[in-house]
């Protein structure tokens, strides 16, 4: 019995062992199968990742949480000079390092990625076998595979060498003048800003020199723009040779302007250097296409001072000083000093330049007409029919601005052609309202020498007359004696063209020139206008009286009518009648009236 019981117990025990073994085997098989499945799934995921990164331009390096390399793509093989089979299993530090651009310290990119799961694009330098400080951008992305507790990390690196080189070239283009390869105005202003700060904070002695060529327009006009470009390039090379490149800074600031910043030297030494440059330019003869042109420069010299705040202020002061040098004939240095009356005058002109531009935009100009009246007693009683057209500028308070305030600035900044065009167009459009034919009124328009020098101005006048459809006989153009002498041939052509159309001409300010009578017969004008400086003193000055008499006699011998301006009193009118002057103009006859009022007097 005992034997049978023991045997039965053994059978039960064996059966239990078999069951447990079977369960364990099943569990082991399940986990083995799952592990194999996870491995296959991970391999599948990795294969997909490998395939997707095979053709990208970025170098891709996959590492585990300890930094051990698991995979690199072909782009990474190329840049790191490692094949994947050699790289796998190594710590990334054995293959490459990323260096911070500023601190030059190695970048702990993996630690940063573990703390922050946001992939950020950053700049760095890449060092690897045979590579030093290659400009790159990089980003790190955590990758989580199936059945892996810790993520892997994908480092993507793009070589930016070509882009960096392109950026360097673009920066160079942005900061340099493309023609001379000197610094341009923008980059030079940055240097000036640093220099101004050094003067204000540490008392360092710097000086600025602005060089403006005197004959550049002449070269452009006579030798063409290619000649002008060649001159600028040669001047740039010459200036480069004259400065100490280890200390001084040279730039091209504009078309024919150069700037030199003399650094850390006494102003007296810098002035001597500037004078040497002036002499060098004066001695230079520019040869181009079998033509030669001597060149000089107007130079402004401005020692930097502590009260100076901005580069723009410095450039403005230098520009005004340079214009003083030009106004004195050029080929000289003008040293800027605070409260210099000549500089203050030039800066006033610069203010007017801005005001004139705004006046054109706002339409603040108006026309007035001052009568020019026949002085013969019988005709003197008749209504006005001859006028001089004058331009007036009104300020923001609608108050008139004296012409002697804005006209000089317009002349200085070559804005007279624009002003003259406005006057001609406005006048002709206004004269369209006139219907009176007997007597036909005459309106005289002043023209500047700058307008006559413009090749297209004559065509502009002809086109405006045709557009307005008025009788050209109503127009008289006044040009000064000085303008006529300046370019006699051009003045003759202008006069003859418009006279053939029916216009008349008046020679203004006659008697102030040095050869008035000598060239008078060369100009086909209709009126002589005696300069007012003789008229206002005619009652008390015998020389003025003799001059007016002489001009009147010569004018009449040539069949011209004589006009006296600045006629202020009855006494002057009487003297002019005795001399035989034909017309008078001035407040003693009539003040200027709005052009619209003058036109209304001739509408029926």
pLDDT at 419: 92
- CB atoms near residue 547 (< 10 Å): 19
> According to the model, what pLDDT value does residue 33 have?
46
In three-state secondary structure terms, 413 is coil
Query: CATH fold of 176-338, please?
Result: Alpha-Beta Plaits (3.30.70)
Q: In a 3-state reduction of DSSP, which class is residue 265?
A: coil
User: What's the rounded Cα separation, in Å, for the pair 99 and 102?
Assistant: 9
Are the C-beta atoms of 130 and 96 separated by less than 8 Å? no
CA neighbours within 13 Å on the CB side: how many for 484? 30
Residue 406 CA to residue 411 CA, distance in Å, equals: 9
| DSSP assigned state of 382 | S
Give me the pLDDT at residue 173, please: 64
In terms of Cα–Cα distance, which of 526, 445, 513 is closest to 485? 513
- Burial class of residue 5, CB neighbours in 10 A (0-12, 13-18, 19+): exposed
Please give the C-alpha separations between residue 584 and each of 189, 376, 404, 561, 580, in angstroms, as whole numbers.
Answer: 56, 10, 22, 11, 11
Residue boundaries of the structural domains of the chain: 52-166, 176-338, 349-601
* pLDDT beneath 50: ranges in the chain: 1, 4-5, 7-8, 11-25, 27-31, 33-34, 37, 41, 513-516
At the second CATH level, the architecture of 349-601 is Alpha-Beta Barrel (3.20)
Length in residues, the chain = 604
Residue 347 pLDDT: 62
Predicted pLDDT at 12 = 46
The pLDDT value given to residue 167: 63
Whole-model pTM above 0.85? Answer: no
Residue 106's beta-bridge partner residues?
99
State the Cα–Cα distance between residues 58 and 79, nearest whole angstrom: 10
pLDDT at residue number 121: 76
Could you tell me the CATH superfamily of domain 52-166? Answer: PAS domain (3.30.450.20)
């Amino acid at each position: 019995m005992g034997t049978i019981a023991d045997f039965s117990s053994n059978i039960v025990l064996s059966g239990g062992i078999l069951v447990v073994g079977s369960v364990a085997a099943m569990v082991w098989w399940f986990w083995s199968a799952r592990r194999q499945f996870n491995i296959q799934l991970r391999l599948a995921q990795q294969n997909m990742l490998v395939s997707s990164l095979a053709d990208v331009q970025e170098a891709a390096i996959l590492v585990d949480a300890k930094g051990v390399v698991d995979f690199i793509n072909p782009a990474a093989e190329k840049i790191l000079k490692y094949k994947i089979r050699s790289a796998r299993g190594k710590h990334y530090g054995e293959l490459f390092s990323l260096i911070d651009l500023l601190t030059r310290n190695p970048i702990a990119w993996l630690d940063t990625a573990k703390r922050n799961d946001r992939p950020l694009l950053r700049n760095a330098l890449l060092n690897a076998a045979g590579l030093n400080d290659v400009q790159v951008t990089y980003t790190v992305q955590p990758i989580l595979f199936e059945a892996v507790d810790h993520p892997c990390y994908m480092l993507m690196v793009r070589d930016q060498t070509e882009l960096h080189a392109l950026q360097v070239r673009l920066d160079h283009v942005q900061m340099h003048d493309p023609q001379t390869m000197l610094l341009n105005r923008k980059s030079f202003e940055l240097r000036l800003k640093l220099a101004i700060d050094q003067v204000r904070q540490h008392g360092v002695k710097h000086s600025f020199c602005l060089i403006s060529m005197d004959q550049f327009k002449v070269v452009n006009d006579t030798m063409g723009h290619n000649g002008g470009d060649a001159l600028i390039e040669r001047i740039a090379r010459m200036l480069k040779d004259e400065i100490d490149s280890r200390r001084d800074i040279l730039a091209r600031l504009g078309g024919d302007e150069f700037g030199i910043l003399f650094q850390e030297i006494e102003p007296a030494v810098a002035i001597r250097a500037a004078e040497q440059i002036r002499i060098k330019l004066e001695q230079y003869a520019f040869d181009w296409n079998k033509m030669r042109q001597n060149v000089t420069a107007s130079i402004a010299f401005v020692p930097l001072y502590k009260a100076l705040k901005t580069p723009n202020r410095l450039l403005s002061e230098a520009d005004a000083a340079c214009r003083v040098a030009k106004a004195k004939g050029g080929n000289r240095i003008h040293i800027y000093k605070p409260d210099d009356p000549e500089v203050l005058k030039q800066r006033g002109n610069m203010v007017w330049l801005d005001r004139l531009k705004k006046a054109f935009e706002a339409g603040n100009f108006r026309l007035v007409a001052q009568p020019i009246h026949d002085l013969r007693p019988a005709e003197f009683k008749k209504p006005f029919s001859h006028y001089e057209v004058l331009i007036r500028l009104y300020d923001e308070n609608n108050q008139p601005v004296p012409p002697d305030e804005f006209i000089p600035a317009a002349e200085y900044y070559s804005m007279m052609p624009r002003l003259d065009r406005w006057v001609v167009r406005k006048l002709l459009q206004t004269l369209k309202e006139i219907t009176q034919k007997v007597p036909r009124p005459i309106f005289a328009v002043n023209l500047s020498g700058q307008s006559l020098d413009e090749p297209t101005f004559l065509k502009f006048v002809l086109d405006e007359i045709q557009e307005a459809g008025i009788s050209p006989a109503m127009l008289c153009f006044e040009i000064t004696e000085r303008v006529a002498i300046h370019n006699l041939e051009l003045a003759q052509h202008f006069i003859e063209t418009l006279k053939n159309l029916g216009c008349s001409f008046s020679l203004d300010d006659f008697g102030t020139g040095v050869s008035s009578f000598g060239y008078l017969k060369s100009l086909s004008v209709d009126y002589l206008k005696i300069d007012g400086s003789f008229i206002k003193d005619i009652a008390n000055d015998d020389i003025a009286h003799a001059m007016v008499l002489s001009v009147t006699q010569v004018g009449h011998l040539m069949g011209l009518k004589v006009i006296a301006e600045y006629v202020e009193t009855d006494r002057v009118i009487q003297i002019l009648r005795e001399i035989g002057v034909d017309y008078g103009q001035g407040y003693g006859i009539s003040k200027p009236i709005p052009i619209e009022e003058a036109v209304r007097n001739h509408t029926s």
